């Protein structure tokens, strides 16, 4: 191999390796550290995972739903994550298309469970209570979904219906800057507020 060919290769390789090392340092170390530090300073609660506290105990995250099956609690949006509902390590939807018979079957089973938990409720069931979300981790339900469940929760807890309705209103999150999205209710935070109410 001619000596000038080896020198030419070194002239190309050295700057390439230097650029690779510099970019690895900047994008792989300095930038993540800087953004993490900025997030912890400016948005400490969100950067920590938006934990939800009950007293001194962390009981979940405001960003990830939990499974509630007792009629004394509001139920969240169905989750289709693998292995178990609301599995944050397997985020994803059911991927069932609109013509898939399993989609209608699952929605029907969920509707039956809601009707069995509250047989006297003849109101239409809001769609978010029978259709799984795309992430499988959605911690919110619609205001209509919360109001549909309010009579059952009030009856099971022996509470006045208007008190439960007021609790829903107090925990309704408004659209971002008033126009982006729909009003929603965080199920975990609403259920924790229920548990804090004085027992009748």
- Interval 125-146: pLDDT, tens: 999 999 998 899 999 999 999 9
Which of the four pLDDT bands, split at 50, 70 and 90, describes residue 50?
confident
**Domain identity same for 67 and 129:** yes
**Domain identity same for 100 and 175:** yes
**Domain identity same for 23 and 83:** no
**Domain identity same for 24 and 96:** no
CA–CA dist 87, 114 (Å, integer) = 22
**Domain identity same for 26 and 99:** no
Q: Please tell me which of 47-51, 52-56, 98-102, 110-114 the model is most confident about, judged by mean pLDDT.
A: 110-114
Does this model's pTM top 0.75? yes
- Interval 158-188: pLDDT, tens: 999 999 999 999 999 888 877 788 999 999 9
30, 45, 60: which is the final residue of a domain?
45
**Domain identity same for 70 and 116:** yes
Write down the mean pLDDT value for the chain: 88
**Domain identity same for 61 and 122:** yes
Domain interval for residue 34: 3-45
- Interval 84-98: pLDDT, tens: 899 988 898 888 888
**Domain identity same for 41 and 63:** no
CA–CA dist 116, 39 (Å, integer) = 45
pLDDT of residue 2: 56
Number of domains the chain contains = 2
pLDDT of residue 11: 80
pLDDT of residue 126: 96
For residue 43, how far is the Cα from the chain centroid?
A: 18
- CB-based burial label for 61 (10 Å; 0-12, 13-18, 19+): middle
Sequence-distant contacts of 101-108: CB under 8 A, at least 24 apart: 106/78, 106/130, 106/132, 107/131
Sequence-distant contacts of 153-161: CB under 8 A, at least 24 apart: 153/71, 153/72, 153/73, 153/74, 153/194, 155/118, 156/71, 156/72, 157/72, 157/194, 157/197, 157/200, 158/200, 159/197, 159/200
Pairing type for strands 184-186 and 172-173 reads antiparallel
């Amino acid at each position: 191999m001619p000596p000038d060919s080896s020198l030419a290769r070194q002239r190309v390789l050295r700057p390439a390796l230097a650029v690779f090392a510099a970019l690895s340092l900047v994008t792989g170390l300095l930038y993540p550290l800087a953004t993490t530090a900025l997030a912890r300073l400016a948005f400490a609660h969100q950067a920590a995972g938006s934990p939800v506290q009950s007293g001194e105990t962390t009981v979940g995250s405001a960003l990830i739903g939990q499974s509630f099956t007792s009629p004394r609690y509001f139920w969240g949006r169905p989750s289709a994550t693998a292995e178990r509902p609301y599995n944050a390590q397997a985020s994803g939807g059911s991927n069932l298309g609109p013509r898939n018979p399993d989609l209608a079957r699952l929605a029907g089973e969920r509707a039956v469970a809601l009707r069995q938990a509250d047989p006297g409720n003849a109101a239409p069931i809001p769609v978010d209570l029978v259709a799984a979300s795309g992430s499988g981790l959605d911690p919110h339900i619609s205001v209509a979904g919360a109001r549909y469940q309010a009579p059952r929760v009030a009856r099971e807890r022996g509470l006045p219906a208007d008190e439960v309705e007021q609790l829903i209103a107090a925990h309704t999150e408004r659209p971002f800057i008033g126009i982006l999205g729909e009003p929603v209710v965080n199920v975990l935070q609403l259920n924790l507020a229920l548990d804090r109410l004085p027992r009748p």
